Chain A
Amino acid sequence: MDYKSGVCNFCGTGCGNYLKITDGRITGVFSSRNHPVSKGRLCVRGWHLHEWLMTDQRIDAPMIRVDGSLKKVSYEEAVNFMMDRMSAYKGKENKEIGFLASPRSSNENNYLFMKLARGVFKTNNITLDSESGHKASLNVLSEGTGFAGMTGSLEDIAKTDFILVVGSDLTKMNPIIGSEIHKAQMSGTKVVTICSRSSQIAKLSNVHLQIKPGSKKVILGALAKAAISSGAADSDYISKFTEGVEVFKNSVNSLEPADIEALTGADYSLITSIAEELCKSSSAMAFWSTGIAGLDQDTVSYIYDLFLVAGKIGKEFSGVNPIAGIANLQGGYDMGAAPDLLTGFQKINSDAASKFEKAWGTTLNKEAGRDIYDLLADKNSGLKALVVADHDEGIVRYEKEIEALDFVVYFGAYDNPFIKHADVVFPVAALIEDNGTYTNTERRVQLSQKRIEPFENVMPGWKLFPMIAAKASQNWNYSSAEDVFKEITSLTPEYAGLTYAKLIDSMGIQWPCNDKNPAGCRRLDAEKAGRKFKFADVSGNYKTPSATAEYPFLLIRGQGEHFWHQNNIMKKSYIPKREYNATLLVFPEGYVEICKEDAKALQVREHWGVKIVSASGAMKVSVKISDDVKPGTAYVPYFIREMITEFLLEHKSDIGRGEDAIIPVRIERV
């Protein structure tokens, strides 16, 4: 049989697929009909996975930089070179070294990468690339419920009664989750979307709250207030399962209906009826995208608290569900690729650290490290050496800073723009060239099996990383990726019951999988949680950005449809690349979406060039006229590097606010 089952490696949905292998080469992809998440569907990216995996744009041998150019060498030479040069930065509390992990790497490779950082280089400066929103979401959920992941399940979308989508165009970012929501809506589930733009998921919803840009927290707070003051809030649930409601109540009670309407543009009586419906529904789920353009922690806290008020966390077919944009974003955090974490959200400064010290036979630095992007942004951080795995995102934001570092090591399977900054480059076996597990956004751990031999005999992670550790006199003894997984399960309570054998026999198992839940766990259960759910702290800050006479438009941003994480991967495909080029052909400098009325007032037509000017920068783009935005709103999807480097980057403080980063601008005719 040429078709071998596998797991898609694009977004965090974790769709099942089959790759067609003919004579040891990939020649096609097909969807998996029996897969519990994707049920026979794939998106435009998933249907072209084979094009990416077929590419010959690979790293075929280890390389070191000699006299300014990269030279192919043996693994042995490359490892010696790396360890020689890195020794200069060791000691000094190891603050000069940083690790940037990849949300596309398998759990096994992320674990070894994390072990290398902490166990060999004694640094806790480790960050997952493209992060921010997901970590913020996990912080809220872990703090509040002890469950650092989606509390519901994708399979239950079809059975839930009410769905709230906050921001994000799910049908573009995670299309199969968008599809599940759309199908649920078609069969009777009430879907409410909060978004300033009429995205596809908004069009497919029963109610679209097209609020003023930057007022998500206000509307979420308003929904909570309305639930409480109308008496619809689930008071039995609140008293039985939660603690700390008073602080949250006080925070949302300060919102007055008149202010709410002024700030959001939404009708308070509509807000009240939605809040009542949410509370009275038999089950409800909330969805929001995470990752680099996701929501900030404060907004996530409001969603979480609203669902506690409605009594919809830890119940059947219910849950608060962050959606990861990249295949193993959730898995990356599960493997402890964060400054303050070990595996399974165990804190580095807790007792858990001694368990790892014992297992690894070494001592650990127990003080949480710093975020790599903070270190890069901070000119006085003292960061000198950076070790990077399979990188997509941060290069655009911090190219200059990375260039200025003393020493950069890169691990990856594919040719990547990052390589030009690297002093040592290690090739690693790619997806399906080695076994590896990936954890999707609903905590489903899936095994992607080895189906072909590695390109030009490059090494898999479980061989390569121990070679580096051995140079530091640490003996890591693995003879397969499965051995690494066994070590992971022995140190990670949520993964304790997982084995490769179990994963081969299933289409993934959702953690926690342990003695109590040998078949995994579909959802968080309030009855069995053994603790109360804590209301998350919220800021109570409902300030929204406002347009001024000088800057009359509020600019919101999103991602272009065929532009996926700086397109390093999409560029290696054919059809998605062509689709991207088709947009580029029409809008070579990018576009800004404005409504008809605004276009008329500005006296511009479709495709005309305009200049977008903010208090801190300017960029030239073309006009696209659309019914999807309201007057006074300008929407810019970023799909061109210059848009990011020359404009958005000038707004660093705003970008930190993720999806709700609203920039007041004016639009000038050129």
Chain B
Amino acid sequence: MYLIEKNNVMKLAEELAKSYDLYGPVIDKETKQVFFNKVENASEISLTAEIPALPPKTIVFPQIERITKYKYDKTAKKAEIAMTYDDRSKAIFGIRPCDLTGILVLDRFFLGQEFVDDVYKEHRKRMFIVSNTCVVPFKQCFCVCTDSGPAADEGYDLNLTEIGDMYLVETGSEKGKAFAEKMGLKPAGDEYITLKKKAVDKSISLFEKVATDNKAWISRVMNRVTTGFIKDDVWKHIGNQCFECGACSFVCPTCSCFNIEDHNRFDGSTDRLREWDSCSFEGYTKMAGDHNPRHPVEDRRNKRFFCKLSYSQSKKYLRPGCVGCGRCQWVCPGDIGLPNVVTYIRREITE
């Protein structure tokens, strides 16, 4: 544990920018919307900005990304193929605990199973992560229901917690520790363990007053989703409200489904692209000969919540698939973001 004065905290980012591409929360000047984006200068980053509209998963798993480039020479009958992985070193500065949890879930999906995804690995392997404890929740948050905040437990190199006019800097890796030492940070006394706990407890106590948009008490619902006892009518009620836009998957810090497409370039070469996909689309599960295990829209919706909230799926992620960021709720045209779905299911249980 180390300490740094509030007005010096950005020096950490400045130092990281020397050896990494630096990413952090940036407020758009025109519209005030927050994005987690690459910055030219550490001063663009705001550590107090609200949860970014788009989760930082875009850094390790971009919306659309070239993974291979090829050109076929018809006369020579030869194809030139180039793997074009993004192997730049990236530092993520000021990621919120929910979004960090999202990246850990993605790690378990892309790296933690039998098949290791090289494209993802290249994004991820030289990464330096600085997380930022939420000492005050935001309106849309419910991470306290999903065990993914307001403070991060793992996955960071450094974790910042605002305490008075200081930031407490915890190290979560050797790399983080070496960096803190190199920066000559002042060691923090043991009293900061209590001070941090106080700050986190205070944040949790603020949820009831501040985080009023969403509530999602998911534990009972997880049981229900896993055992499959939810009535068809409830899924139908939810399915009728689905506009099939895919937004819930796109903004979800843990959604990892993708599609592969070949994009023919004007110069005769081809880019092989990987792009976000969503289980809410009918074409996503369609198989040859018109077999579709999830034909009606309510089946597709239901699959998404099965993925987020069932035990069997959680075993893979070592936690629920929902991290409580509340983004699906505000992008959903049908008003069936995860918190509302949890409410519908709980209402059924109570009835």
Contacts and interface: CB of A to CB of B under 8 A. Distances in A.
Given A43-B243, A182-B333, A5 B31 contact: yes
A44 interface: yes
A360 interface: no
Contact of A578 (B58, B64, B263, B283): B283
A561 B53 CA distance: 28
B243 A574 contact: no
Contacts of A1: 26, 28, 35, 37, 44
B123 to A, nearest CB: 14
A27 B64 contact: yes
B147 interface: no
Interface string B255-277: 00001010111100000010101
A82 B167 CA distance: 69
Given A3-B37, A28-B58, A47-B245, A574 B334 contact: no
Interface in A1-52: 1-3, 5, 18, 20, 27-34, 39-44, 46-47, 50-51
B340 to A, nearest CB: 10
Contacts of A31: 53, 247, 331
A509 to B, nearest CB: 15
A60 B33 contact: no
A280 B286 CA distance: 49
A669 interface: no
Contact of B28 (A3, A183, A583): A3
B32 interface: yes
Contacts of A141: none
B246 A47 contact: yes
B153 interface: no
B64 A51 contact: yes
A585 interface: yes
Interface string A496-514: 0000000010010000000
Contacts of B335: 179, 182-183, 186
Contacts of A40: 53, 330-331
Contacts of A18: 28, 33, 35
Nearest to B280: A44
B263 A56 contact: yes
B244 interface: yes
A18 B335 CA distance: 22
Nearest to A456: B266
Contacts of B228: none
Interface in B7-41: 26, 28, 30-33, 35, 37-38
Interface in B33-80: 33, 35, 37-38, 44, 53-54, 58, 62-64
Interface in B278-313: 281-283, 286, 288, 290
B241 interface: yes
Contacts of B334: 179, 182
A39 B31 CA distance: 12
Contacts of A41: 245, 247, 331-333
Given A40-B331, A43-B245, A186-B335, A200 B240 contact: yes
A317 B62 CA distance: 41
Contact of B266 (A60, A183, A579): A60
A175 B331 CA distance: 13
Contacts of A27: 62-64
A42 B259 CA distance: 20
Interface string B188-204: 00000000000000000
A78 interface: no
A60 B246 CA distance: 33
Contact of A33 (B53, B241, B250, B282): B53
A5 B277 CA distance: 23
Contacts of B44: 1
Contact of A574 (B28, B30, B259, B290): B259
A581 interface: yes
Contacts of B28: 1, 3, 5, 18
A58 B267 CA distance: 12
Interface residues of A, number: 53
Nearest to A55: B263
Contacts of B54: 3, 30
Max chain B C-beta neighbours (<10 A), residue from A34, A60, A607 = A34
Nearest to B269: A56
Interface in A45-71: 46-47, 50-51, 54, 56, 58, 60
Q: How large is the interface on B (under 10, 10 to 19, 20 to 34, 35 or more residues)?
A: 35 or more
Contact of B263 (A5, A54, A58, A179): A54
A537 B33 CA distance: 48
Contacts of A175: 243, 245, 333
Contact of A2 (B38, B245, B282, B331): B38
A125 interface: no
A204 interface: yes
Given A31-B331, A47-B250, A178-B333, A582 B282 contact: yes
A580 to B, nearest CB: 8
A607 B290 contact: yes
Interface string B215-248: 0000000000000000000000000110111110
A5 B28 CA distance: 9
A33 B30 CA distance: 13
B250 to A, nearest CB: 6
Interface in A149-180: 171, 175-176, 178-179
A73 interface: no
Nearest to B34: A33
A607 B289 CA distance: 12
A242 to B, nearest CB: 36
Nearest to A30: B54
Contacts of A171: 243, 333
B243 A179 contact: yes
A404 interface: no
A586 interface: yes
Nearest to B340: A186
A58 B334 CA distance: 35
Contacts of B264: 56
A32 B333 contact: no
A47 B283 contact: no
Nearest to A180: B333
Contacts of B245: 41-44, 46-47, 175
B333 A20 contact: no
Contacts of B283: 575, 578-579, 581-582
Contacts of A420: none
Interface in B333-350: 333-335
Contacts of A586: 286, 290
A204 B240 contact: yes
Contact of B281 (A46, A56, A575): A575
Contacts of A652: none
Nearest to A176: B333
A50 B275 CA distance: 11
A203 interface: yes
Given A178-B243, A204-B241, A578 B259 contact: yes
A43 B333 contact: yes
Nearest to B327: A40
7 contacts: A3-B28, A34-B33, A42-B247, A179-B335, A186-B335, A504-B30, A582-B283
Given A44-B245, A54-B263, A582-B282, 12 more contacts: A1-B44, A5-B31, A18-B35, A33-B33, A33-B53, A40-B331, A41-B245, A42-B245, A50-B64, A56-B266, A182-B333, A575-B275
Interface of A: 1-3, 5, 18, 20, 27-34, 39-44, 46-47, 50-51, 54, 56, 58, 60, 171, 175-176, 178-179, 182-183, 186, 200, 203-204, 456, 504, 507, 561, 574-575, 578-579, 581-583, 585-586, 607
Closest A-B pairs by Cβ, 3 of them: A179-B333, A582-B283, A28-B63
Interface of B: 26, 28, 30-33, 35, 37-38, 44, 53-54, 58, 62-64, 240-241, 243-247, 250, 259, 261, 263-266, 273, 275, 277, 281-283, 286, 288, 290, 330-335
